[in-house]
A and B are shown apart, each in its own frame.
Chain A
Amino acid sequence: MSEYFSNIKTSTTTIATGLAITLRHFFNAVKRKGDAGIDDADFFKQVDGLCTLQYPREVIPTPVNARYRLYNNIDDCIGCNQCDRACPVECITIETIKVTADDLAVCGKTSGGQQKRMWVPVFDIDVAKCMTCGICVSVCPTDCLVHSPVADFSEFDVKNMVYHFGNLSKIEAEAKKKKLELEKVAKAKAAEAAAASGAAPAPKPAPKPAPKPAGSEAGE
């Protein structure tokens, strides 16, 4: 019987305690919880008040070293294609055109002083596919591909998630391609002319190996 009454007493006091806690929170709802970060000494002292962040209107700034949306500084890009090969989800698409000898000066150098030898008409990053693993950043030889702190870049159309970083327009790219063809033709002609004038002919490339006989496949 004493347990019966002690149960009633316990439930009454615990309910009262719980109600007091919720009521305190209810009246504290006129205040906002402080915005002390986790590294502040008084982080655990600021437990009173609303903690809702009305996101699009109120934002916690992303740290400057945050790694979110990829950004390519195309002026430093040498078109080496390493990021494309490293990407596990194949979100980077690169097309390159070799720079003709007379254009080397126009194409310029990277900020590190390295001569750029490739035009990069297409450098597309599909950030919808990107999983921010950072492998492309780590392989980039000129450090031009980085994760920027931009975290909110949602779009209504998934096509808009493809970011274009190429440094040539389509017309310019066509022109550069033609120029490269012309240079190749000119070089070939020069080589022919050199061969005709009696110089030693260039060694022929080794013949490709013949297709394997059918017998070896049958053994598999």
Chain B
Amino acid sequence: MSSSPSLNTWSDALSGFTLGGFPLGLVIVAAIPLVFIALYALTYGVYGERKISAFMQDRLGPMEVGPWGILQTLADILKLLQKEDIVPTVADKFLFVIGPLIMFVGSFLAFAVLPFSPAFIGADLNVGLFYAVGIVSLEVVGILASGWGSNNKWALYGAIRSVAQIVSYEIPASIALLCGAMMAGSLSMQHFNVVQSGPYGFLHFFLFKNPIAWLPFIIYFISSLAETNRAPFDIPEAESELVAGFFTEYSGMKFAMFFLAEYGSMFMVSAVLSIVFLGGWASPLPNIGGLALNDMTNGPVWGAFWIITKGFFFIFVQMWLRWTLPRLRVDQLMYLCWKVLTPFAFIAFVLTAIWEIYM
């Protein structure tokens, strides 16, 4: 179900493009977000993480490969590609190989429903948000497969922790997103953006329109950190305790897949956060009198710019938190999830419902 037929003319035209009977347009539409995210995750995500962490610790970060080290990630990829692909002899070979693949595919499946602009969306499902929340759980299977298949105590510990953590944090995350769904009145990802766009820019965003929305916003942000195994919830990796957690035994391209999946899901949760609470591709600039800033900064290309900017901002916040906070203990993690986030998510849910009914 497409809720914005007029805005989808670009993508319709592109999807209809065929070359000798081959639906080339459809392939391109599907490839745009993937190419973007591969480029982002491979180069600028990793590079940004290293630079931001360096600056926060008064260091310079990578400086040698290219000016200011901007080609460092390419050099890293070259190194990873050349590395031997080791499968331990005592590992469960099938699970060991399938684990990173499931995780990689799982983290990128959610990109299908991310509206990158009014015109670019892989699949405008009417259950888009539900799909995005559900498909991320596939990562758990990949993590458990790789941790169990590695036949390594650290990997198994990491995998078990990770599964416990992700399954627990799905609950406050889903309830928080449900508040957004109530405000939008739909589960379609494109619809979220349509109802949040308007002449007053950011005032139409749920975060600013609704006095309760900050609560599910924060709850979802915290839960999304846990779901992507980012610090301070990185106990599945826990370098100082578990070597490298569930991917201790991995090397070469399989390791790179975990890396890619992590940065892919980082962008995915940031994009979901900005779509549900901050208007996705809608411009935050308001029309002020005769100065139609909002009209000027809306459109297919501007939309992609805004959602990527918002996503990058939240990725920056994720990195900022990572280099600020120490890792939580396992019991603290569960305390935060079940005793703090879940009750507050329910409170936010009820308050949002009341607000939506009576206001």
A contact residues vs B (CB 8 Å cutoff): 4, 8, 15, 18-19, 21-23, 25-26, 28-29, 33, 49-52, 54
List of B residues within 8 angstroms of A23 by Cβ: 56, 320
Give Cα A54–Cα B325 distance, bound, in whole angstroms: 28
Taking the closest CB of chain B, its distance from the CB of A37, in whole angstroms, is 18
List of A residues within 8 angstroms of B321 by Cβ: 19
Taking the closest CB of chain A, its distance from the CB of B226, in whole angstroms, is 15
Taking the closest CB of chain B, its distance from the CB of A30, in whole angstroms, is 9
A-contact 0/1 string along B319-333, CB 8 Å cutoff: 011011100000000
A19 touches B324 (CB 8 A): yes
| Interface residue tally on B, bucketed by range | 10 to 19
Q: Identify B56's interface contact among A4, A22, A33, A52, CB under 8 A.
A: A22
Which has the most chain B C-beta neighbours within 10 Å: A15, A22, A28, A54? Answer: A22
A50 touches B59 (CB 8 A): yes
Q: Which 6 A-B pairs have the closest CB atoms?
A: A29-B55, A52-B60, A22-B324, A18-B324, A22-B56, A26-B55
B325 touches A15 (CB 8 A): yes
B320 touches A50 (CB 8 A): no
Taking the closest CB of chain A, its distance from the CB of B308, in whole angstroms, is 21
List of B residues within 8 angstroms of A29 by Cβ: 54-56, 58
| B232 and chain A: residue at smallest CB distance | A15
Taking the closest CB of chain B, its distance from the CB of A53, in whole angstroms, is 9
List of B residues within 8 angstroms of A18 by Cβ: 324-325
B56 touches A25 (CB 8 A): yes
Which positions 318-358 of chain B face chain A at CB distance < 8 Å?
320-321, 323-325, 339-340
Give Cα A80–Cα B38 distance, bound, in whole angstroms: 70
Give Cα A8–Cα B347 distance, bound, in whole angstroms: 16
Give Cα A29–Cα B54 distance, bound, in whole angstroms: 9
Taking the closest CB of chain A, its distance from the CB of B204, in whole angstroms, is 28
Given A8-B340, A15-B325, A52-B60, is A25 in contact with B55 using a C-beta cutoff of 8 Å?
yes
| B51 and chain A: residue at smallest CB distance | A29
List of B residues within 8 angstroms of A19 by Cβ: 320-321, 324
Give Cα A33–Cα B340 distance, bound, in whole angstroms: 41
A26 touches B59 (CB 8 A): no
Taking the closest CB of chain B, its distance from the CB of A114, in whole angstroms, is 52
B323 touches A49 (CB 8 A): no
List of A residues within 8 angstroms of B325 by Cβ: 15, 18
B4 interface contact, C-beta 8 A: no
Give Cα A33–Cα B58 distance, bound, in whole angstroms: 9
Give Cα A55–Cα B58 distance, bound, in whole angstroms: 16
Which has the most chain B C-beta neighbours within 10 Å: A19, A29, A50, A51? Answer: A29
